[in-house]
Amino acid sequence: MDKLYIHPLPIRIWHWTNAIGFVLLIATGLQIRYLDLFQLMPFKLAAVAHTWIGFVLIANFFIWLGFYLFTDKIKVYHPELSPMKYFRASFRQIQFYGYGIFKGEPNPHHPTAYHKFNALQSMLYQIIMMLLVPLQFFTGVLLWDVTRFSSMVDLFGGLRVVDSVHVLLFIVFVGIIIVHVYLASLGHTPSAHFKAMITGYEEVQDEPKANTAA
């Protein structure tokens, strides 16, 4: 079995900081919103921790963005410009996740250093990182100091709208994390993708085609 260097160090640092931070934001966010339902920690601690972790994750986001903007690894996120090819690859991947995997069929996607994601992952990760995460950070910053950002809050439809978007995205992220962790466990062993995100190296069954070093 060959090893392929697939997750460079900045991405691994960004990813695990982000994952731990998101779990903590969810826990503190739940405590802030549902203070009357359960008491995991004092309200003040939850509010202060939520703010600080939020700002750490905003700074952390720029490690991910900067890495991809300033290295040729941006190629892993290059969009598939042929819709037919994209839909065919996505359909094959959905068939594998929904049916083939239960019959022991091989994964139709064969990763390389510059093509590490399957069609579905590539599209979903871009929607998460370029749309949902920035929107969550943006609404979070507005809610952090509604007086200072009152004109911006008004521009986006008022406090109720900003707050609703933040809470709806929170629900979306809880769902995304559950699905993401499940899909990440579907490597050639359940822990294969997790180990790869820790060590950087993914074990691949086929001979990689090119670019095996980062």
What is the nearest approach in angstroms of ligand HEM to the Cβ of residue 127?
10
What is the distance between the alpha carbons of residues 166 and 209, in angstroms, rounded to a whole number? Answer: 43
What is the distance between the alpha carbons of residues 142 and 163, in angstroms, rounded to a whole number? Answer: 9
One-letter amino acid of 204: V
Nearer to ligand HEM, 153 or 208 (CB): 208
Q: Rule CB under 6 A: which residues touch ligand HEM?
A: 7, 11, 15, 18-19, 22-23, 121, 125, 128-129, 133, 177, 180-181, 184, 193-194, 197
One-letter amino acid of 20: I
What is the distance between the alpha carbons of residues 142 and 63, in angstroms, rounded to a whole number? Answer: 22
Nearer to ligand HEM, 31 or 118 (CB): 118
What is the nearest approach in angstroms of ligand HEM to the Cβ of residue 148?
26
What is the nearest approach in angstroms of ligand HEM to the Cβ of residue 82?
22
Nearer to ligand HEM, 22 or 96 (CB): 22
What is the nearest approach in angstroms of ligand HEM to the Cβ of residue 117?
7
Nearer to ligand HEM, 152 or 179 (CB): 179
In 3D, which of 29, 108, 116 has the Cα closest to residue 68? Answer: 116
Q: Is the dihedral of CA 37, 42, 48, 54 positive or negative?
A: negative
Does residue 148 sit in helix, strand or coil?
coil
| Main-chain dihedrals φ then ψ at residue 200, nearest 5 degrees | 95, -20
